Amino acid sequence: MEFKVNKTEKEWKEILSSEAYRVLRQAGTERPFKGEYTDTTEQGVYSCAGCGLELFSSENKYHSGCGWPSFWGELESAKILKKQDTSHGMIRTELVCSNCGGHLGHIFNDGPPPTGVRYCINSVSMKFTKT
């Protein structure tokens, strides 16, 4: 798949921390309850740590208790890509940044109204900007 932001693996390794590289570029998962934004309640916008594309508003964030930042909806402009993930013996829907292809997390059908979905996102995949 071709993305607007396209870098070599060497370039990604130069701009991302080793943990961000492992998650964003190798579809890793950070440890639950350890991420920087798991319990953040401040108002602002969450952007892709790889390319800066705005993904989520704090208005859509909620505490799900799952150990990762959770959102019930994305910013319309994010256009997050959804693809089937069959790793680890499960069938899930992976969330990928539409701008750079970075792995963000997964989406599940156990979220609150109004959407009923839970965007389960790795903190290290995002940068937060207060508004």
What is the arrangement of strands in the sheet containing 61-62, beginning at the earlier edge strand?
61-62, 70-71, 118-121, 103-108, 92-96, 81-85
d(CA 126, CA 71): 13
Q: What is the DSSP letter of 67?
A: S
Cβ–Cβ under 8 Å, residues 102 and 52? no
Q: What is the DSSP letter of 35?
A: S
Cβ–Cβ under 8 Å, residues 37 and 128? yes
Kindly name the residue from 48, 51, 100, 120 that is annotated as catalytic: 120
Active site residue 97: no
Active site (catalytic) residues: 120
